[in-house]
């Protein structure tokens, strides 16, 4: 493979020749000699042709007309004998012969470093003409009458085009000498050596097979060209000893300047034409501040006006006098920081029923040097948008004791105002929430026509459904009796059937003997309203989806057609509004109740 080129060196061992081209030399033209090895891949087609590994020798001429690209012509002579890996006929010896390859190549080289560098790695690709030439002794052997059975009498040279590619490294170790290392891949058609290209009973090589090989070489390079010596630099300009020192100007960053926050002052346009190192001296309101830097950072501890000044000084250097200059002063107006305040917390309405909402409002103030955020909170209830100054309080989640007790609770809503420095303030407002439990409506106790007897289904409503919930002393039991139009007395005497139905239901709840309950009589309020049917019907009938069937005495069975013959059954929280059908509380004759005892 090829030998490496390099450029001129910073230090020369001989007096260099001055180049007027301004290019990096003397590696414009290279003459290289090399030696190494030549290795080819086996071809498996036919009888298995193998070019045996051998030596490679040659020379190259390289023209580096461009800084990173060169052209190269090369000749390579390699010894790669040919060996057939399989015999033409069973029992026959494998055929082989001496072979030499004469390779002529034209390549382009691309370098990773510019011309004139000591080390130049490169890549290359180019075309080749490869003359595969059997030796004279090989051709004589093939044409010998004793070897005609090989069928190789036409053995002769063949010229194939090819492609070579690879890379390497050039090392320019002396002014005119360098070392070079190359690795090249070779791609061409498998040479047939003019042998048959199909099986004829003797040796043959199929056409159109590919042959791949590698050449690895090293060698020496001699460089032609002139050594480039850069012209001496121009002399430095004379120092501007008497030029004026420029103090420049001052500026602060954009935005509001605030108490307690750092302010950066920058100087611009400060210069010394003589190029001397400058000393910076800062003052704020006449007092020295900051360090020897072109930028000042300070944090004002109060609001108000500040005056910033900068003086720059150039030292006495090389006989030049000390020079000083002042920048134009900078006036700053610093805003005072004020902690936030919270005020005006109010709820409208301030008193509401459980489940209602109230509008919350508050005011917060900060300062030009802060931004504020709101946050509402309450121990109970829900605040719709806690981070808004105006929002809504919802009382649905305020907690009250279960049961029939009328209750009231005051919830305090607090607005907290916090600024971006962490300071905060609060205000609060009370919200009174009243809880009035709702009345509980049970199924109506239904009676058969012209009967006041509480049937078994009615007793289940009174004893199994009403009585357990009536244990809460905060509820009153309310009974309202009704009759139907077809139960009105035909005489002038008014019907008392609605009162009798109330009396029987009352006795079932209070008699306290047999199957009857023992509810406190003072907690039962009754009224009977005749045929008036202002309230909706909720007939308590057994044998429906709501209540399983039960056996009734003859004449006590009822259906929804009897829904007007009823007693309404309610649990009403004490102190709250009575049902709409309840007009006036009435008293039942004690003698009648005593007579009824526990109705069967």
Better pLDDT: 363 or 1:
363
Report the range of poorest mean pLDDT among 165-169, 180-184, 254-258.
254-258
Q: Is residue 272 part of a domain?
A: yes
170 and 187 part of one domain? yes
Residue 211 has pLDDT above 80, yes or no: yes
241 belongs to a structural domain: no
- Residue 106 predicted with pLDDT over 80: yes
- Residue 243 counted as domain residue: no
For 261, phi then psi, to 5°, come to -120, 140
Percent of the chain having pLDDT more than 70? 93
Q: DSSP E strands: which ranges in 231-335?
A: 249-252, 263-268, 279-284, 287-288, 295-298, 304-314, 323-326, 330-334
Residue 3 inside a domain? The answer is no
Total number of domains constituting the chain: 4
Do 154 and 281 have their domain in common?
A: no
pLDDT tops 80 at residue 493? no
State which residues form the domain around 572: 440-596
pLDDT of residue 2: 35
Per-residue confidence band for 153, with pLDDT thresholds at 50, 70 and 90: confident
Give the CB-side neighbour count of residue 290, counting CA atoms within 13 A.
Answer: 26
What pTM did the predictor assign? 0.50
pLDDT band at 24 (very low <50, low <70, confident <90, very high): low
pLDDT, residue 290, reads: 82
Alpha carbons 422 and 477: distance in angstroms, whole number:
59
Q: Is 323 helix (H, G, I), strand (E, B) or coil?
A: strand
pLDDT at 569: 96
The pLDDT score that the predictor gives to residue 19 is 42
Structural domain includes residue 184? yes
CATH number of the domain to which 592 belongs = 3.30.1330.60
Two tokens, residue 565: 């013959």
Q: Quick one: 271 and 218 in the same domain? A: no
Asked if the structure places residue 15 within a domain, the reply is no
Give the end of a domain, one of 165, 191, 224.
224
Rounded Cα distance, 84 and 196, in Å = 14
In a domain, 22, yes or no: no
Query: Sorting pLDDT into bands at 50, 70 and 90, what band is 6?
Result: very low
In a shared domain, residues 302 and 377? no
Return the percent helix, strand and coil in the chain, to nearest 5: 10, 40, 50
Residues 474 and 566 in one domain: yes
Distance of CA 560 to the CA centre of its chain: 66
Mean pLDDT of the chain: 87
Angstrom CA distances, 152 to 142, 210, 381, stand at 5, 21, 108
Q: For residues 429 and 450, state if they share a domain.
A: no
Tell me the C-alpha distance between 78 and 487, whole Å: 135
For the segment 462-477, the average pLDDT, to the nearest whole number, is: 90
Q: 40 and 73 share a domain?
A: yes
Q: Is residue 6 part of a domain?
A: no
What's the pLDDT tens digit per position in 421-444? 899 999 999 999 999 999 999 999
Q: Do residues 306 and 352 both lie within one domain?
A: no
Supply the CATH number for residue 94's domain: 2.40.160.20
Among 20-34, 196-210, 298-312, 480-494, where is mean pLDDT lowest? Answer: 20-34
Say what the pLDDT of residue 9 is: 32
Confidence of residue 234 (pLDDT cuts 50, 70, 90): confident
* Residue 46 sits in the same domain as residue 155: yes
Q: Would you state the structure tokens that stand for residue 439, as one six-digit string?
A: 């009345």
Distance CA 79, CA 98 (A): 8
Q: In this predicted structure, what is the pLDDT of residue 237?
A: 59
Whether 213 and 75 map to the same domain: the answer is yes
Domain boundary among 395, 412, 435: 435
Among 395, 415, 435, residue at a domain's last position: 435
Q: Is there a single domain that holds both residue 346 and residue 328?
A: no
482 and 453 in one domain? yes
- What does the alpha-carbon distance between residue 163 and residue 125 come to, in Å, rounded to a whole number? 8
What integer pLDDT is reported at residue 491 of this predicted model? Answer: 67
CATH number where 301 lies: 2.60.40.10
């Amino acid at each position: 493979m090829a030998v490496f080129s390099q450029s001129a060196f910073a230090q020369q061992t001989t007096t260099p020749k001055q180049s007027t081209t301004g290019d990096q030399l003397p590696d414009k033209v290279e003459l290289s000699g090399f030696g190494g090895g030549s290795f080819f891949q086996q071809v498996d087609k036919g009888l298995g042709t193998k070019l045996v590994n051998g030596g490679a020798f040659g020379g190259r001429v390289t023209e580096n007309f461009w800084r990173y690209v060169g052209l190269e012509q090369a000749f390579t002579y390699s010894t790669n004998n040919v060996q057939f890996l399989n015999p033409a006929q069973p029992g026959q010896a494998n055929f082989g012969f001496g072979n030499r390859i004469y390779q002529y190549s034209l390549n382009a080289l691309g370098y990773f470093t510019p011309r004139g560098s000591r080390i130049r790695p490169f890549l290359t690709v180019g075309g080749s003409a490869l003359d595969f030439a059997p030796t004279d002794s090989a051709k004589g052997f093939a044409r010998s009458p004793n070897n005609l059975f090989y069928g190789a009498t036409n053995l002769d040279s063949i010229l194939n085009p090819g492609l070579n590619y690879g890379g390497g490294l050039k090392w320019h170790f002396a002014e005119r000498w360098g070392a070079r290392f190359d690795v090249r891949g070779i791609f061409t058609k498998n040479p047939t050596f003019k042998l048959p290209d199909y099986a004829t009973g003797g040796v043959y090589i199929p056409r159109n097979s590919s042959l791949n090989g590698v050449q690895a070489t090293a060698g020496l390079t001699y460089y032609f060209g002139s050594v480039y010596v850069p012209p001496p630099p121009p002399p430095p300009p004379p120092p501007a000893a008497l030029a004026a020192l420029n103090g420049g100007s001052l500026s602060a960053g954009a935005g509001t300047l605030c108490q307690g926050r750092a302010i950066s002052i920058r100087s611009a346009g400060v210069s010394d034409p003589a190029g001397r190192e400058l000393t910076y001296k800062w003052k704020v309101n006449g007092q020295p501040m900051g360090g020897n830097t072109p930028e000042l950072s300070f944090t004002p501890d109060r609001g108000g006006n500040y005056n910033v000044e900068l003086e720059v000084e150039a030292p006495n250097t090389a006989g030049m006098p000390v020079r000083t200059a002042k920048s134009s002063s900078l006036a700053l107006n610093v805003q005072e920081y004020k902690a936030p305040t919270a005020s005006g917390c109010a709820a409208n309405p301030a008193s509401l029923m459980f489940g209602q909402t109230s509008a919350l409002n508050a005011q917060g103030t900060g300062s030009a040097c802060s931004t504020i955020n709101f946050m509402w909170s309450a121990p109970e209830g829900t605040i719709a948008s806690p981070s808004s100054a105006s929002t809504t309080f919802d009382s649905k989640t305020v907690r009250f004791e279960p049961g029939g007790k009328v209750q009231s609770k005051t919830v305090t809503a607090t607005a907290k105002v916090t600024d971006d420095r962490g300071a905060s303030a609060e205000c609060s407002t009370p919200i009174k929430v009243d809880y009035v439990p709702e009345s509980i409506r049970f199924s109506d106790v239904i009676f058969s026509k012209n009967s006041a007897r509480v049937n078994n289904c009615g007793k289940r409503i009174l004893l199994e459904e009403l009585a357990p919930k009536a244990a809460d002393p905060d509820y009153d039991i309310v009974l309202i009796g009704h009759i139907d139009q077809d139960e009105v007395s035909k005489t002038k005497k008014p019907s008392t059937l609605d009162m009798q139905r109330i009396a029987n239901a009352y006795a079932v709840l209070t008699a306290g003997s047999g199957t009857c309950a023992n509810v406190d009589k003072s907690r039962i309020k009754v009224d009977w309203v005749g045929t008036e049917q202002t309230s909706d019907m909720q007939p308590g009938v057994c044998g429906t989806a709501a209540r399983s069937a039960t056996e009734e005495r003859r004449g006590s069975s009822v259906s929804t057609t009897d829904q007007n013959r009823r007693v309404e059954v309610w649990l009403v929280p004490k102190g709250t509004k009575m049902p709409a059908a309840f007009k006036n509380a009435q008293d039942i004759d004690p003698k009648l109740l005593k007579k009824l005892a526990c109705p069967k």
